[in-house]
Amino acid sequence: MKIAFCIDDIEEQAVDTLFQEEADAAQQLGIRYELVDFEAIRKREPLRAARFIKAEDKPVPTLYRGWMLTPTEYQTLDEALQLKNHFLITSPKAYQLCHWFPENYEIIRRVTPESVWISFSDQRPSHEEIHQHLKELRDSGLIVKDYVKSQKHYWEEACYIPKASDREQVEHVVDRFLELQGDDLQGGLVFRKAVELEPLGCPLPGKFPQSVEYRIFVFHGDVVATTPTWNSDYPKEKPPVHEFLPYLRSIDSPFFSCDLALQTDGKWIIVEIGDGQVSGLPDSCKVTEFYQSIQKRWESVERAT
């Protein structure tokens, strides 16, 4: 197994500085890595994207660790690696399953906030169409996002709607969200029922409220990391990961992340699923241990095949 990291913007044949610690950890453990050109991937240039990858005689299974890609861009990454006889451990289909929220919602719907969405590409939905989709959530607060990301750092301006029945507020927040996302918007609009989460510290008025959240990573069915999402003092209670395993093992992907959060009523929920290759490691994650766990699980999978 190899890892494919993105190249640095300035020094082409070096790892992107934000992933250097991960590359060092992989190298320390004897895991080889290659470099791919992120900008070439975005421009749909597979040959250029793969120019620094060493060609192999036999197919080499590869994990990508880098910036988020659209499903179409991920297809380009797949093509680029295959040019040098490398293949992605996570297929394009599995990537989209975890990367786009509506693709995995049915699997986790019993343990995640109620959600609705509107799919579109070029022609954005009218305000009236949006209000029609929100009828079932009229008395709820809402979180607005696209299929992948929100604008949580513009909390009141472009993310949080106190009440779905407030037509003016819905339109204001959605319009601002779409403006901020611009060409980076993926899939369409998602509206999630806002729930009361256990806060960390004292929330600042108008700011994104940090809550008790953990990010876990699953590799070939095993949880390889469970880490607090934020750099803050956490309560002693840890998430009951075992309670979510039936849902996690229904996700048809070899490598993904799952964010768990604690509600004020003491109940843990799944916030979202993400593809493990493009999910950031929390600052408190011990990077070498993370790669060591992946390596150990991979060796176990290899022995079983």
Is a pLDDT exceeding 80 seen at residue 241? yes
The amino acid at residue 254 is P
CATH number of 114-193: 3.30.1490
Specify the DSSP element, H or E, that contains 248.
helix 241-248
Predicted confidence at residue 178, as pLDDT, reads 97
Predicted confidence at residue 12, as pLDDT, reads 82
Share of the chain above pLDDT 90, in %: 91
Is a pLDDT exceeding 90 seen at residue 305? no
Whole-structure pTM value: 0.95
What is the domain partition of the chain in residue ranges?
A: 2-89, 114-193, 198-304
- And the tokens for 18? 């934000």
CATH number of 198-304: 3.30.470.20
Cα end-to-end span (Å), the chain: 14
Task: Calculate the average pLDDT of the chain.
Answer: 96
Predicted confidence at residue 81, as pLDDT, reads 99
166/189 Cα distance (integer angstroms): 18
Output phi, psi for 131, to 5 deg: -60, -35
- And the tokens for 249? 């093992």
Could you tell me which of 62, 63, 102, 113 has the C-alpha nearest to residue 85?
62
